[in-house]
Structure 1
């Protein structure tokens, strides 16, 4: 297993770097926030990403994708983390696309996956029901109603839920197994409450009150709903860890540049030994997180049955490191780091919000321990 990017992956990284610098720099996140954008992302950028082939990165070619795998998806997300790109990439192109691949029938895949790959629609996966991530709690219920279902329950902090064209909802069936349902967010009985998180993203709380669904709304191509659910979450966690790594790397690079440029007492502050030690510690932690993220992504592609342990370790470490590095970045930038006018604060906020999504470092450290037999 190689942690070195292939030539194809390097080309993907370089094109992503150029695209995101032009289309989705940090200043664009500021603009979305200041304009009060209700969706939290630009649909034009989402369609441009589709033209680059990104939205179909884990979708088979027969459904309009490029099927390059999760390591390639991580390459993209690492660059998105560097520019804090606000996009529906993880909710739609990763979580929803992977869920449709695993649990959708041939007809469902043929209908929905091409829309994701082409950027024609944004899909959101609704799974959490508590303020903090707790995948074991699914109280939303889908009960049989003639040839269809009735859906009742509530989901919290659905990523990109406010701007989604289609929802995929995890719900309990009458035998307490887990099922997945395609739900039109405009259907009768569906109500949304827009949220704004500290990182200027826009998730939604979504309530389902006796929502009537046709029989074909249920994803019917998968055998084990619980195993599918756990795998899809793990896929999302590995990809999110790659984004967190990019956020930490960019915050470190900006801080290192500032240490070299900022002078105090007649010399660059980077010459002070105490700051050098702290910077060296950050670099070592970033390299460790990088190794774990690459291990998790490569294992997902090459030996997915062995991936859960490495994914938990990668998400735990990426969360810890991104929080630490962005915190140090604020301190080393001094007073300007605390101001909204300086961009470094956006990295600090994103690190904390991304750290909570799909489980924080404590959640995944415990998962590492239990997976290892402790």
Structure 2
């Protein structure tokens, strides 16, 4: 039985890698360092749209390629490998996929073709203060109004909210959790720029009595929590795939550097301690890859993947932490030199680690599921 990727999946991955190799370079990435410019490459985004990659997981009737989540995860991995300034996760995973899965025909026709063509952007507001579970919002509330809702609250770290046509927002009502497609330009919406270590555009979104029409209700109180849980698990798996790309590139960059850097007249890679440290990084990255694509595969097949996503989160956080330290250590002073590309990868590894949450907390959550008989029992 073949557990590898199919020829078509490899073609998608190779196409994405070629585009990112051609269009992403340290010089271009430098343009957004310290917020000197927006971390978004219009030309790259247009090339991804032209190649059909922005619609890789969208159905053909919405101008997509008709593939699935596995192919999209392979694209995300290549974004991580190049740390490209391309909002693939917030737009395609957190935004477009839930609309395609749960949206009405009108919502799909209105939003998805523009996403595939690179003319329209979506995002999702997934965090509140002291709450990282969008399926159970605490600080965002909504009341029924004119067939739609009036929503108030504050969301944090919303990527590319300033460019988005709609952002998916969860809110609690007296009857349960709902999911809404909120216009960031609507009356009552205030976007406050946040500063993050990766320089990605992120915003605090303050909502005050924002009117959301009936046609922008993605899910009512009977299904809102389910939609947000589905969205969260797919976004988490995508972040893990991004971490695969980032850690893999940093590991290979480190191996190449230690093979060239000489001390006492020989490459430092020949030192046993260096070789062991690099080998541990390789093992870590491969374990992360296997756990990530186990979660991706189950999600792509429509199976329950809560345990697999939880395990991938743990690996992604720990591997990012270990590979970041090891790659900087084996590079020596070059590891933190901002004229050398490694520091950007280390920044993204730690950013992803923080976004995925404490490994201790994630392990505790998995342990509770095991104790309750909710894991490894199928």
TM-score relative to the length of structure 1: 0.93
Moved over 4 A (4+): 220-223
The match for 2:247 is 248
Pair 110,124 (structure 1): closer, same or farther in 2 beyond 3 Å: same
**Shift in Å at residue 191 of structure 1?**
0.6
The match for 1:127 is 126
Deviations 1:25-44 (A, max 9, x none): 34433212256334x31233
> SS of the residue aligned with 1:369?
helix
| Counterpart check, 1:29 vs 2:39 | no
Residue pairs, 1:1-374, within 5 angstroms: 2-33=2-33, 36-38=36-38, 40-130=39-129, 133-135=132-134, 136-175=136-175, 177-220=176-219, 224-302=223-301, 304-373=302-371
Output the CA distance in 1 between the equivalents of 2:114 and 2:307: 33
**What are the ranges of 5 or more consecutive residues in structure 1 without an aligned counterpart?**
none
**Shift in Å at residue 46 of structure 1?**
2.1
Q: Is the 8 A contact 1:103 1:221 kept in 2?
A: no
**Shift in Å at residue 186 of structure 1?**
1.4
Output the CA distance in 2 between the equivalents of 1:214 and 1:293: 38
**Shift in Å at residue 251 of structure 1?**
0.3
Deviations 1:309-339 (A, max 9, x none): 1111112202211221122111111112122
- Number of residues of Structure 1 aligned to a counterpart in Structure 2: 371
RCO comparison, higher one (Cα < 8 Å, 6+): 1
**Shift in Å at residue 293 of structure 1?**
1.2
Q: Is the 8 A contact 1:331 1:337 kept in 2?
A: yes
Output the CA distance in 2 between the equivalents of 1:83 and 1:203: 20
The match for 2:376 is none
Greater mean alpha carbon deviation, residues 54-63 or residues 341-350? 54-63
**Shift in Å at residue 212 of structure 1?**
2.0
> SS of the residue aligned with 1:372?
helix
**Shift in Å at residue 221 of structure 1?**
8.0
Q: Is the 8 A contact 1:138 1:170 kept in 2?
A: no
**What are the ranges of 5 or more consecutive residues in structure 2 without an aligned counterpart?**
373-378
Q: Is the 8 A contact 2:313 2:356 kept in 1?
A: no
